[in-house]
């Protein structure tokens, strides 16, 4: 991978992460889109693909903590772990090796899948580990109540994932058309 291409991809992920510090609706965030984007475009460097969105998250969480006092919480390991899993899911979006085109429908499908995965994992694991800090009884009904209470946040998360997926993938596709050095060399 050409270094300028690598820097642009990492820079786009970093910029998306920093956008978390801008005013936005609750849970309208770039995290899952960043992970899919890193997985799709850095898949030839799998470890690097996982580290870049996690590092961007860490930097943006640190900035949020400095600016607002929030950004870190006890269940961050669940959030970061889920981001890593979504990055691995993004490996399936890599298209340069076969020269095939990534379809809009496939991107939408993966973005929705990432949203659903993040929603399930980041609600079920805290519930299983510590009962969501006593907010719900540790029963089947408590788990259902936990998920029902999270639905309004899921709507913004889903919309944010779709918007940021379009911005990252669409922005980079446009950049590749206008800057030839950003195009990947196809391997036969």
Give the model's pLDDT for residue 59: 93
Give the model's pLDDT for residue 97: 47
Neighbours of 62 (CB within 10 A): 12
Whether the pTM exceeds 0.85: the reply is: yes
Q: What domains are defined for the chain?
A: 3-182 (1.10.1760)
Q: Determine the Cα–Cα distance for residues 172 and 47; give it in Å rounded to an integer.
A: 21
Give the pLDDT of the chain (188 residues) as one tens digit per residue. Answer: 666 888 999 999 999 999 998 999 999 999 999 999 999 999 788 899 999 999 999 999 999 999 988 878 888 999 999 999 999 999 999 864 445 567 899 999 999 999 999 999 999 998 888 766 778 888 899 899 989 999 999 999 999 999 999 999 999 999 999 998 888 765 43
Q: Determine the Cα–Cα distance for residues 103 and 119; give it in Å rounded to an integer.
A: 24
Give the model's pLDDT for residue 43: 74
Q: What is the 3-state secondary structure (H, E, C) of 59-84?
A: HHHHHHHHHHCCCCCCCHHHHHHHHH
Query: Any idea how long the chain is?
Result: 188
Give the model's pLDDT for residue 185: 62
- Token pair for residue 150? 């999270």
């Amino acid at each position: 991978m050409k270094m300028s291409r690598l820097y642009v991809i990492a820079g786009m992920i970093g910029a998306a992460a920093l956008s978390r510090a801008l005013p936005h609706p609750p849970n309208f965030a770039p995290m899952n889109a960043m992970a899919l984007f890193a997985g799709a475009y850095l898949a030839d460097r799998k470890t690097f693909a996982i580290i870049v969105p996690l590092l961007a998250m860490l930097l943006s969480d640190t900035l949020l903590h400095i600016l607002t006092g929030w950004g870190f919480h006890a269940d961050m390991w669940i959030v970061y772990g889920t981001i890593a899993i979504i990055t691995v899911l993004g490996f399936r979006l890599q298209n340069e090796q076969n020269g095939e085109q990534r379809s809009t429908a496939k991107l939408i499908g993966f973005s929705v899948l990432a949203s659903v995965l993040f929603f399930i994992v980041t609600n079920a694991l805290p519930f299983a580990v510590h009962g969501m800090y006593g907010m719900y009884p540790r029963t089947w009904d408590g788990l259902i109540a936990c998920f029902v209470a999270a639905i309004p946040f899921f709507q913004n998360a889903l919309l944010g994932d779709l918007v940021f997926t379009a911005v990252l993938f669409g922005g980079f596709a446009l950049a590749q058309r206008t800057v030839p050095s950003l195009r990947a060399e196809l391997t036969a």
